[in-house]
Each structure stands twice: as C-alpha cells, then as structure tokens.
Chain A
Amino acid sequence: MSGEALKPVPTPYLLFEARREEQFITGSEAVREAVRRANVDMAIAYPITPQSESMHLVGDLYAEGYLRDYFRGENEFAVMSQVAGAAMAGVRVFTATCGPGTLRAFENFPLWAGTRLPVVMAFMTRGVNAPLTIQPDTIEMGMLLDTGILMLHAENAQDLYDMLLGAFSVAERTTVHLPLGVFVDGFFVTHTRQKVRVVAEDVKLEPYDPAASPVPTVDMETPPVRYMRDPFVMKSNYVSYAAHASWQQEILAAAERARPYLREVVGPFVEQENPDAPIQVVASGTAVAQAREAARMAREEGLEVGLVKIKVLRPAPREEIRRALARAEKIVIPEFNRTGWLAREVASMIPANDRIVAGPRVYGGMTMPPEVILDALRGTRLAGV
C-alpha cells in the first residue's frame, strides 16, 4: 500500500466518519499513523530525543511511498528553514522537534507565522539546558506563545493522532494560513503504548492547494512577477511603520479566524467535567491525565473537584476559560514546567485571578503523581512553587 492507492476525502469524513480500528501503539507510532493519512508531500527530519522515533517512522512512510520527498537536515534551524522554502513553494511539509531543538530553530517560528506558512508540525516537549535533560517538560511551550503559531496540546496518543490529522485543514485555510504546532509530552506519550483508534479505510486528506494561499506562492506561476517574500517594510516615516504594524496585526487576526475551523476539528477548546464544583483543576497535556486521577481521588474524600482540560493554547481560549471558571472558588493549575506559563495564561483570562493556585509544578523530567495534585486540592502542600 502506498499513498497513491489512498482516496482523498474531506477532513470531516476522515476525522468523524471513516471506519476506525483500535491499535495498541506508542505516541511516536500515532504520529506515523496520522502522517500516513495526511497526504504530506515532504518531511524533513533532525534527531533529538524524544521526537526522533516519530521522524524515523515518517521516514519509513517515505520509503513505502506515502511521501514524495524526505531527508535529514543538518540542524534544527536548517530544517525549519528547509521547511520554510518548501512551504513557500507550495507543498505540504511536516517536521518535528522539541526542547533544545525548538530553541535552535526558534527564529523560524515567527518567520513562518509572519510569512503565512501553513506548516503543521509536532513538538514532543522536553527540558532545555542548562543542565541537560531529555525528559519531559513543557517549558518550551511558554516561550512559543507569542511567536504567532497556533498551538494545540495533546493529552495522549489519541489526541495527538486526531489533532495532527485535523490540523492541516485549519492551518491551510486561506484566511488562516499559519503554522500549527501540535504539542505532546515527550516520553509520557511518545514512548508509552496506548489504545488509539486509527482510521482503517484506504483514505487520506485532500492535497494542499497552493492557489488557496493568501500570499503569492513562490513558483514563478503566481502573480505578481515582481515579488519578494517578504520585502523590508521599514522606511523611516509613519507610513511604513504602519505597514509593519498592520502586517503583525494580520498575523494576530489570522489566528483569531482559526477559531471556528479549530472547533470543527477538535471540538470545544476546553472540556470540563463537574463544572459546578467549587474547586477546579485546570491543565493541558499529560497533566490532564494526572489531574483527572487526582480529582477522582479527591471526590472519594468528599472534596468536590471539577476538571478543565485545555486543548487549544493559541488562539487563546479566553471566553471558554472565563465561562468554565466563572463559579470556581479555587483554581489549581498543575504543570510540567518551572515557569507556570499555563497559570499565567489562565490568570490573564479571568477576573479575580487570586483564585488561582499556580501549581503544583514539577520540572526537569519529574513525574507528577496524582497525590501531589491532591495535596494542592486539599490545600495542604504545594510542590515546586
């Protein structure tokens, strides 16, 4: 079976109607399964733990005929630049990185957003130096919040699979046309086996259409013939200062426009259990799984706790968070990082944000046992803050 034999179908069919089968696979294998169906033209790889396996498997897909080009670049900044060139020329291109690799590539993220490149990529988050750890940590996500890229956070391999497949139709909309990062905690998801329901029909996403790009594709086939992507916009007068600012506004606007399309593919940006509980625990990524268990344990003790799972970080889920936490008296926000970026995000979205307990936090690769969250819910102890 190769990509040629798959039938292109609209994204809603692929995501919601196509027959699925259950596989017991790792997060890395879930990336492979998503890319298998994603009608990706090119993928470019560079090793860094724990995303390497995902890109090995994408390479295997290339060898099997599911991608038309694949190669290993020389470092992450080079890879993201190669991705930029490919996307500018009008193909669907995929890559992944994490941690130090994200930082190495970083200048390209605001570039991708600013030049409206609809790149879908995966981040298998891990700690950044110094000192070095290959273990899971979401610190890089806080650093990416203002780059202009769209950001989804997967709790598990099922989320990862579905978010990746849904991402292309959002990123590639003419009115959006922005990079979209699907984030997942390294090792916790990438290297553990989970039940994942994957599409079992011989179908794939429809191909990318360069004619839908809101800026000219770089191919000498799209007008105007005199076209620099992108020209300097910085003459020393009011007129051109407005041009650069207007451009930046357009990137923000494009992210706003993604909301209805994101809702179509991932559903509500925020999912809530037990919305009436006075204590709400708010989390994203694997922390949701730990928080869900802690909430269950809390309820057994007679403590009423609700769970808020955030799936979309950018565009910011302001309304959804405000509604979900409107009646909360105490808001606990466990995170796998030192910085507490998620707590800062939530604090910026709600009134009376002194209701927030910005923790517990573990970092550098530590696991977060549900007991640690339970301590915070009870108010007896707050780890890592």
Chain B
Amino acid sequence: MEHYRVLPGPEGYLPPAAALRGVPLPLPGEALIEGRPVARDEAVRHIAAKLAGATVPRFFPGPQLLWRDTPYARERGRLVREIAREAGAGVIPMPDYRPKYPMIDPAVEINPNHPNLTIWHNKIDVGVFIGVHCHQANLALRIIRGGTACYTVALCAHDGHEDAHVSLRDADNAVLEQLRDAVRAATRGRA
C-alpha cells in the first residue's frame, strides 16, 4: 500500500479519503499526525505547537457539545474555552449539519457541507473540531483539505479521524486538560 501523507491543502479538486489510501485509525493510546500513528503525548504536544504558531486559530465545537446543558457538557465546554483562551483562538460553532440556507454567515458559524466558506472568509490556518458526529466531521475534514490550506485537528471521543492532520481518539476531559497544559507551555514563550 502506498504511504499516503495527510498534508495541508489545498490538495486538489476531489482528493481521496485517507482511509482509502491505507491510513489506519489510531489504536487506543495512540493518535495520528498527518496519517502516521504516534503516541498520544506526542500528538498533544504537536497540537499545542500548531496552535501556538497559528495566525488565525479557531475551535469548532459541534452539536454534541453545543446542545447539552449537563454538568459533563458544561465542564467539557469550559475546558474547550480555556484551551482556546490559552491558545489565543476564537470559537466558531457548528450548531447543526444542514446546508445553510440561504447562505451561511461564515463569520459566526461553520457547517460540514461547506466548511471551506468559513475557513476562507476568516483565513483560518489552524482549526480544531470537537463534539461533531464522526460522519459529519469526516465530511468537513476532507472538504477543508481539498480546498483550503487550513491545518485541521480532530478531538474525537471515539476512534479518531484519518482525514484530519492531527487526530486524537478517546479525547475525554482528562485529555483536554492535558492539551490545555501543553498549550499553556507552548504559548509561554510567545510575545
């Protein structure tokens, strides 16, 4: 099997799904960086470095996180906001999955059917997805890689995403805390 690298785009008119090019999902305890399995700790540090070096970083919380008012969701949301703050990153929500009609307001939201509109409008260079159903996340990740230069990070509660540039799996609140600490450390040296 060819060794396909999941690299920042724009990759072209209709780039392949990474899974179809032999990129495996990470095993428990692992993560993916650009299609390569790595230890999770390495991926967490890598994400932190990318966020620290980004010009326009953004977090994209999805419906699983936005449409819940439970203690767990509130804590998870608080952690996401904290990480974003540490990273100097804005937050643009993905409130649902339908193609927006008549037109998305790309300044305030992102949508899996046309995520590139939001990426282009805001000139986002690092985007972090969390709380998006796996299917819709994968739709978005491929379209972004095909049409934009944005570097994508997927914080997945399940098994991960081959089409993201960095994919964590089983990203529970403990992993988010680890990421927050890594971002804090990575941005400490920044002016």
Binding site for B on A (CB under 8 A): 116, 173-175, 177, 212-216, 223-228, 231-233, 235, 239-240, 242-243, 245-247, 249-250, 252-254, 256-257, 319
If A227-B97, A243-B139, A253-B138 are given as contacts, then 20 extra A-B residue pairs at C-beta distance below 8 Å, sorted by A number, are A174-B159, A175-B25, A175-B134, A175-B159, A213-B133, A215-B133, A216-B97, A216-B133, A223-B68, A225-B67, A225-B96, A227-B96, A228-B98, A231-B113, A239-B116, A240-B113, A246-B142, A250-B17, A250-B138, A250-B139
Contact A231 B135 (CB under 8 A): no
A-B contact pairs, 21 of them (CB 8 A): A173-B159, A212-B158, A214-B158, A216-B97, A223-B68, A224-B66, A224-B95, A225-B96, A226-B95, A227-B98, A231-B97, A235-B99, A239-B117, A240-B113, A240-B114, A242-B14, A242-B143, A249-B16, A252-B17, A254-B19, A319-B1
| Smallest CB gap from B136: residue in A | A215
Question: Which residues of chain A come closer than 8 Å to B63, judged between CB atoms?
Answer: 216, 223-224
How far does the alpha carbon of A256 sit from the alpha carbon of B162 in the complex, in Å? 12
How far does the alpha carbon of A231 sit from the alpha carbon of B100 in the complex, in Å? 10
| A224, A233, A247, A253: the one within 8 Å of B96 (CB) | A224
Q: How far is the CB of A111 from chain B (nearest CB, A)?
A: 15
Chain B contributes a number of interface residues (CB within 8 A of A) equal to: 36
| A174, A228, A240, A249: the one within 8 Å of B20 (CB) | A249
How far does the alpha carbon of A256 sit from the alpha carbon of B98 in the complex, in Å? 26
Question: Which residues of chain B come closer than 8 Å to A216, judged between CB atoms?
Answer: 63, 97, 133
- Report B146-171 CB contacts with A as 1/0, cut-off 8 Å: 11000000000011001000000000
Contact A252 B20 (CB under 8 A): yes
Q: How far is the CB of A319 from chain B (nearest CB, A)?
A: 8
Question: Which residues of chain B come closer than 8 Å to A242, judged between CB atoms?
Answer: 14, 116, 143, 146-147
How far does the alpha carbon of A256 sit from the alpha carbon of B142 in the complex, in Å? 16
- B55 interface residue, CB < 8 Å from A? no
Whether A233 contacts B113 in the complex (CB less than 8 A), given A223-B68, A245-B14, A250-B17, comes out as: yes
| A174, A247, A254: the one within 8 Å of B158 (CB) | A174
Question: Which residues of chain B come closer than 8 Å to A233, judged between CB atoms?
Answer: 99, 113
Q: How far is the CB of A235 from chain B (nearest CB, A)?
A: 7
Question: Which residues of chain A come closer than 8 Å to B116, judged between CB atoms?
Answer: 239, 242
Contact B19 A243 (CB under 8 A): no
Count A/B pairs, Cβ under 8 Å: 98
Contact A239 B17 (CB under 8 A): no
Contact B99 A214 (CB under 8 A): no
Contact A223 B135 (CB under 8 A): no
Question: Which residues of chain A come closer than 8 Å to B147, judged between CB atoms?
Answer: 242
Question: Which residues of chain B come closer than 8 Å to A319, judged between CB atoms?
Answer: 1
- B64 interface residue, CB < 8 Å from A? yes
How far does the alpha carbon of A319 sit from the alpha carbon of B98 in the complex, in Å? 38
Whether A256 contacts B19 in the complex (CB less than 8 A), given A239-B117, A250-B138, A250-B139, comes out as: yes
Among B35-83, those with CB < 8 Å from A are: 63-64, 66-68
The 3 tightest CB contacts between A and B, nearest first, are A223-B67, A253-B19, A224-B63
| Smallest CB gap from B157: residue in A | A174
Contact A116 B135 (CB under 8 A): yes
Q: How far is the CB of B120 from chain A (nearest CB, A)?
A: 10
Question: Which residues of chain A come closer than 8 Å to B19, judged between CB atoms?
Answer: 252-254, 256-257
- Report B94-133 CB contacts with A as 1/0, cut-off 8 Å: 0111110000000000001110110000000000000001
Whether A175 contacts B158 in the complex (CB less than 8 A), given A214-B133, A227-B97, A240-B114, comes out as: yes
Question: Which residues of chain A come closer than 8 Å to B138, judged between CB atoms?
Answer: 246, 250, 253
| Smallest CB gap from B113: residue in A | A243
Contact A215 B17 (CB under 8 A): no
How far does the alpha carbon of A228 sit from the alpha carbon of B16 in the complex, in Å? 26
How far does the alpha carbon of A292 sit from the alpha carbon of B110 in the complex, in Å? 57
| Smallest CB gap from B19: residue in A | A253
Q: How far is the CB of B146 from chain A (nearest CB, A)?
A: 6
How far does the alpha carbon of A293 sit from the alpha carbon of B97 in the complex, in Å? 55
Question: Which residues of chain A come closer than 8 Å to B162, judged between CB atoms?
Answer: 253
Contact A243 B135 (CB under 8 A): no
| Smallest CB gap from A247: residue in B | B139
Whether A246 contacts B143 in the complex (CB less than 8 A), given A214-B133, A231-B98, A253-B17, comes out as: yes
| Smallest CB gap from B142: residue in A | A246
Question: Which residues of chain A come closer than 8 Å to B17, judged between CB atoms?
Answer: 249-250, 252-253
Whether A226 contacts B96 in the complex (CB less than 8 A), given A249-B17, A256-B20, comes out as: yes
How far does the alpha carbon of A216 sit from the alpha carbon of B112 in the complex, in Å? 14
The residue in A175, A213, A228 that gathers the most chain B C-beta atoms within 10 A of its C-beta is A175
How far does the alpha carbon of A228 sit from the alpha carbon of B101 in the complex, in Å? 14
How far does the alpha carbon of A246 sit from the alpha carbon of B135 in the complex, in Å? 10
Contact B135 A214 (CB under 8 A): yes
| Smallest CB gap from A216: residue in B | B133
Question: Which residues of chain B come closer than 8 Å to A227, judged between CB atoms?
Answer: 96-98
